[in-house]
Amino acid sequence: MKEVPKAELHLHLDCSLSYAAVVQLDESISHEEYKREFIAPRRCTSLADFLTRAPRGFRLMQDEAALALVVEDVFEQLAADGVIYAEIRFAPLLHTERGLSPERVVEVVERAVERMVDLLKPDKVDEQAAMIARSLRVLERFTGTRPVGWLGPGLTQTLETPDLLAAAGIKYIGDWVYDDEPTEIRTAHGPLVTLPYTVELNDIPMMLVQHHESAYFTQRCIDSFERLYREGAERAKIMAIAIHPYISGQPHRIKYLEAVYDHVNRYAGVLHWNGAEILDWYMAARGNQ
């Protein structure tokens, strides 16, 4: 399983220290003590039970060197486990016991994260090509169909990525969030279609970053749809909605997502397509021009 690319969507920096990092910060801590006081029990019955293991980590992370070391340690753990995208959380106010301001804590962690991202990112052509090939191979084995589309982790890519994706047989990407119609970019291996994607109608920034109330998702989607529907009378438009089950699927949010589809389905001529279906339509329409 380690070779399978993974995403870590909820990782607490403060609660992710390896034993190797712990003994660098305090060599007096034994492995048994580490397992007892830093690791949640096998049968963890509640969040409160889990959080009883956090204070020892907090106490070790009270200066700049310790914060940077823990960031490096976490990134090394992620890389070893094949994680290519991670959303990391931490509590700056819990790392100020030795005089660091919350702002300085954030700066130190941010700088360490940037350094590790730069160090570990697949910026070499051969590393990127291998990651793309491995990802497509795993997805094909799991689904029975080789993907023709690509959405990069966190919408990230380098200047070489489009060429490498086209060489691997990818026909469309969703990383370029700039239009409500398909466009094409040139690569060394033929054209690559960019399909519309969204950060505006995306439950991660809207709910978890901007902290809107659940009903706001419905209103923003409907407002966007009605504008695009009017414009679509003259030229076909695509409205992307980015949803994640662990966010929009929550009991207090799901009805607001359902309301979007209830509204959209009242209008004639609306189609619900995935990326491959949009690509097929676009290529057929392009060929008839």
pLDDT digits (tens, 9 = 90+) for 201-249: 999 989 988 899 999 999 999 999 999 999 999 999 999 999 999 999 9
Mean pLDDT over 139-156 rounds to 89
The span from the CA of 110 to the CA of 180, in Å, is 33
So what's the pLDDT on residue 181?
93
So what's the pLDDT on residue 157?
85
Res. 2: pLDDT tops 70: no
Res. 35: pLDDT tops 70: yes
Pick the range with the lowest mean pLDDT from 49-53, 73-77, 119-123, 252-256. 119-123
CA proximity to 163, closest of 136, 141, 132: 132
So what's the pLDDT on residue 124?
63
So what's the pLDDT on residue 239?
96
So what's the pLDDT on residue 24?
86
Mean pLDDT over 70-98 rounds to 89
Average pLDDT of the chain, as a whole number: 89
C-beta separation of 197 from 172 below 8 A: no
C-beta separation of 62 from 97 below 8 A: yes
Mean pLDDT over 8-34 rounds to 88
So what's the pLDDT on residue 54?
83
So what's the pLDDT on residue 218?
97
Express each pLDDT in 150-205 by its tens digit: 998 888 888 899 999 999 999 999 999 988 899 999 999 999 999 999 999 999 98
**Which of the four pLDDT bands, split at 50, 70 and 90, describes residue 101?**
very high
The span from the CA of 12 to the CA of 54, in Å, is 10
**Which of the four pLDDT bands, split at 50, 70 and 90, describes residue 258?**
very high
So what's the pLDDT on residue 278?
96
CA proximity to 171, closest of 286, 251, 17, 57: 286
Mean pLDDT over 85-113 rounds to 92
CA dihedral angle for residue 157, residue 159, residue 162, residue 168, rounded to 10 degrees: -90
So what's the pLDDT on residue 183?
94
Res. 125: pLDDT tops 70: no
C-beta separation of 50 from 44 below 8 A: yes
C-beta separation of 204 from 248 below 8 A: no
So what's the pLDDT on residue 84?
82
- Spatial neighbors of 170 by CB under 8 A, at least 6 apart, are 132, 136, 147, 148, 149, 150, 192
Percent of all residues in the chain with a pLDDT value above 90, rounded to a whole number: 53
pTM of the model: 0.62
So what's the pLDDT on residue 123?
55
Res. 50: pLDDT tops 80: no
Three-state secondary-structure class, residue 88: strand
Higher pLDDT, 134 or 203: 203
So what's the pLDDT on residue 121?
67
For the chain, give the number of residues: 289
Mean pLDDT over 39-56 rounds to 79
Distance of CA 87 to the CA centre of its chain: 7
